[in-house]
A and B are shown apart, each in its own frame.
Chain A
Amino acid sequence: MLNPIEIEALKLSGFIAVVAVSISIIPGIIIAWFISRKSGLLSSVLNMIVYIPLVLPPVVIGYLLLLLFSNNGILGNFLLETFNISVNFSWKGAAIAAAVVSFPLLVRSVKLGFDTFDYKIEEAAYINGASKIDCFFSIILPQILPSIVTGITLAFARCLAEFGATITFVSNIPGETQTLPLALYTATQIPGTEDSAIRLVIISIILAFISVAIAEILAKRTNKRILGNRN
């Protein structure tokens, strides 16, 4: 049904999205908690930095990443010297680009969960003998799970759709950085591959439908589990 190039692009898209979201979850939750609960300059600045990728053109992000992660860049040099890792022109770079671009969406939804969480429940947990850390893991995280699930699905969807930052940062290499949108871009650039382009468009649309449906089902399920039938 699908040809090898399409299968490869599809697999790579999924793999990069999974890696990107996985590395974002823990820092995303911590940062969301910080900007939701703490006030002050640091919190405000962090809040702005986190949201900037949402409004910057992806090509700007891609170019900034290129500067940071090139072998002479600050982070690129550090990774190369200490871990002997280079992310340029590899799927690792594509995952970083996807993570940066999708990070605001994750943080935004998780922050909303922290914002709307009823602190009175937290007080009840403390009085019942839970320390702050205990309460965070036993009460707050499970209570805001619907927001975390929404954040993860939104971020995942954003990763699948990622194009601009990726092509600028790690180029368009089949089997390495050529995700579905990049494969479609290639198909639109070569005369005589219109059929192939249409097939990729259809695959993209189906994938979008599936991911939205999964997101809806997951959100409904977690909401029901945490909040009952009120929603």
Chain B
Amino acid sequence: MNISNHIKYKTILGDFTSNININFSEANIIAITGLSGSGKSTIAKVICGLIKPQNGHIKINNKLLYCSRNNINIPPHKRNIGMVFQEARLFSHMSVKANLLYGQRRNSIFDQKRFDKIIKILGIKSILNRDIFNLSGGEAQRVSIGRALLSEPKILILDEPLTGLDSLRQKKIMKIIKDINKNLDIPILFISHSLEEIIFIAEKIIIIDKGKVAAQGSIDQIISYKKLSYFNSSNTNYSLIKGIIHSHDKTNANTIIDVNGIKLITKPISDKINSNQIIKLFSKDISIATKVPNNISINNILEVKITKIKIYKKDGKAEIILALGKQEIIAEITLFSFNKLKLKTNLKVYALIKAISIVGK
């Protein structure tokens, strides 16, 4: 049977209106992202039944949880949804094990195999008998994920679960989330404001802006500058491009990445040849030259075409949008340089890329 999940609602909270329409049928990881205040967390609360929308309908795993037309509104405790919040929200008067079994007891028959499997994925076997207040932030969050999973939910919603953890623990939990998805065959809604997190974790991305779905699709579809511009606040502009590993150069200790036929040299990456990579280029790390410069330490000097120019007179800067094959990157230069070089659209120039960072696959 085809599994269908449909979330469509309108909700008004104070002067904020949210109008959401999301459809998905695959059991994979879907990231919901957007700036703070865009209404991402509201989606989680509406699905859980903590917020009752004005109208619409919520269908998870073919089951109607809310429908304004048929007057259906299943209470939160009967919705069978696994939810992990930014804070672990554990029950401090119970042990780790009792916390884990809280949802399980109320939703399903105890299955030792499943219990062991989840404990193993989460790596929390050694802390089962500990008290909640003796857990670290990362441990608490893993227990919280375990508690949600053991209630055998039809969907797992993670609302900014990595905020407040250090990057080492964030990476560990992101890996765990991928493992969960692979081993337990459960769709995961991963709500996050961090582009790095969602690129690492999700197969599908939904961008929410001002309470509406602004864009959605696979990472490939959404990677173009325009849609991701939601994340670019004025001083940390960057662009994301994708490429594949072309070769590893062992003598010079670097890796060559192919971006639509154009070769980029980066620090060595341990992945296999032909594996996909997502590259982040800060606009300030890209300079522009009209001729190929000689005797320069920069390795990545690419021939590109200017597709668009944005002038910011007040800040004395210009954003030059450059075509790199089918993809686009942005260079930020001073207005002074812009005038000196006499740049205009469709002009062929050289982009000098000073730093490259790999953010995902």
Contact at A120–B77, with CB atoms within 8 Å?
no
- Residues 187 to 214 of chain A near chain B (Cβ within 8 Å): none
Contact at A143–B92, with CB atoms within 8 Å?
yes
In the complex, what residues of A have CB within 8 A of residue B107's CB? 128-129
Contact at A229–B77, with CB atoms within 8 Å?
no
Chain B interface residue number, banded: 20 to 34
In the complex, what residues of B have CB within 8 A of residue A134's CB? 77, 106
In the complex, what residues of B have CB within 8 A of residue A225's CB? 93
Q: Is B292 an interface residue (CB 8 A)?
A: no
The residue in chain B whose Cβ has the minimal distance to the Cβ of A135 is B77
Contact at B102–A125, with CB atoms within 8 Å?
yes
**Once the chains are docked, how many angstroms separate the CA of A128 from the CA of B91?**
12
The answer to whether residues A120 and B92 also contact, given A127-B79, A128-B151 and a CB cut-off of 8 A, is no
**Once the chains are docked, how many angstroms separate the CA of A125 from the CA of B107?**
12
Contact at B151–A129, with CB atoms within 8 Å?
yes
Q: Is B50 an interface residue (CB 8 A)?
A: yes
In the complex, what residues of A have CB within 8 A of residue B81's CB? 127
Contact at A125–B91, with CB atoms within 8 Å?
yes
Contact at A127–B77, with CB atoms within 8 Å?
yes
Contact at A229–B87, with CB atoms within 8 Å?
no
Contact at A131–B92, with CB atoms within 8 Å?
no
- Residues 84 to 114 of chain B near chain A (Cβ within 8 Å): 85, 87, 89-93, 102-103, 106-107
Q: Nearest Cβ distance between residue B291 and chain A, in whole angstroms?
A: 61
Q: Is B80 an interface residue (CB 8 A)?
A: yes
In the complex, what residues of A have CB within 8 A of residue B77's CB? 126-131, 134
Q: Is A228 an interface residue (CB 8 A)?
A: yes
**Once the chains are docked, how many angstroms separate the CA of A24 from the CA of B317?**
73
Q: Nearest Cβ distance between residue A144 and chain B, in whole angstroms?
A: 10
- Residues 107 to 164 of chain A near chain B (Cβ within 8 Å): 120-121, 123-131, 134, 138-139, 142-143, 145
- The winner among A120, A124, A128, A142 for most chain B CB atoms within 10 A is A128
Contact at A124–B85, with CB atoms within 8 Å?
yes
Q: Is B134 an interface residue (CB 8 A)?
A: yes
Contact at B76–A127, with CB atoms within 8 Å?
yes
In the complex, what residues of B have CB within 8 A of residue A130's CB? 77, 102, 106
- The winner among A120, A127, A228, A229 for most chain B CB atoms within 10 A is A127
**Once the chains are docked, how many angstroms separate the CA of A225 from the CA of B102?**
18
Q: Is B142 an interface residue (CB 8 A)?
A: no
Contact at A128–B103, with CB atoms within 8 Å?
yes
What is the interface of chain A mostly: helix, strand, loop, or mixed?
helix
The residue in chain A whose Cβ has the minimal distance to the Cβ of B81 is A127
Q: Among B75, B89, B151, which residue has its beta carbon within 8 angstroms of that of A121?
A: B89
Q: Nearest Cβ distance between residue B227 and chain A, in whole angstroms?
A: 32
**Once the chains are docked, how many angstroms separate the CA of A67 from the CA of B148?**
57
Q: Is A38 an interface residue (CB 8 A)?
A: no
**Once the chains are docked, how many angstroms separate the CA of A221 from the CA of B131?**
15
Q: Is B133 an interface residue (CB 8 A)?
A: yes
The answer to whether residues A228 and B76 also contact, given A127-B81, A128-B103, A128-B106 and a CB cut-off of 8 A, is no
**Once the chains are docked, how many angstroms separate the CA of A40 from the CA of B335?**
62
Q: Nearest Cβ distance between residue B118 and chain A, in whole angstroms?
A: 15
**Once the chains are docked, how many angstroms separate the CA of A1 from the CA of B321?**
97
Q: Nearest Cβ distance between residue A127 and chain B, in whole angstroms?
A: 5
Q: Is B83 an interface residue (CB 8 A)?
A: yes
**Once the chains are docked, how many angstroms separate the CA of A226 from the CA of B148?**
22
In the complex, what residues of A have CB within 8 A of residue B148's CB? 127-128
Q: Is B259 an interface residue (CB 8 A)?
A: no
The residue in chain B whose Cβ has the minimal distance to the Cβ of A230 is B133
The residue in chain B whose Cβ has the minimal distance to the Cβ of A138 is B102
Q: Among A127, A131, A143, which residue has its beta carbon within 8 angstroms of that of B48?
A: A127
In the complex, what residues of A have CB within 8 A of residue B78's CB? 129
**Once the chains are docked, how many angstroms separate the CA of A121 from the CA of B89?**
5
Q: Among A128, A143, A229, A230, which residue has its beta carbon within 8 angstroms of that of B93?
A: A143
Q: Is A85 an interface residue (CB 8 A)?
A: no
The residue in chain A whose Cβ has the minimal distance to the Cβ of B152 is A129
In the complex, what residues of A have CB within 8 A of residue B246's CB? none
In the complex, what residues of A have CB within 8 A of residue B305's CB? none
- Residues 39 to 81 of chain B near chain A (Cβ within 8 Å): 48-50, 75-81
Q: Is A227 an interface residue (CB 8 A)?
A: yes
Interface residues in chain A, defined as those with a beta carbon under 8 Å from any beta carbon in chain B: 120-121, 123-131, 134, 138-139, 142-143, 145, 225-230
Q: When A and B form their complex, which 6 residue pairs have the shortest distance between CB atoms, in order from nearest?
A: A228-B133, A129-B106, A128-B103, A124-B89, A126-B76, A142-B93
A-B contact pairs, 22 of them (CB 8 A): A121-B89, A123-B48, A124-B85, A125-B91, A125-B102, A126-B49, A127-B48, A127-B76, A128-B77, A128-B103, A128-B106, A128-B107, A128-B148, A128-B151, A129-B77, A129-B106, A129-B151, A130-B106, A131-B77, A134-B106, A143-B92, A228-B133
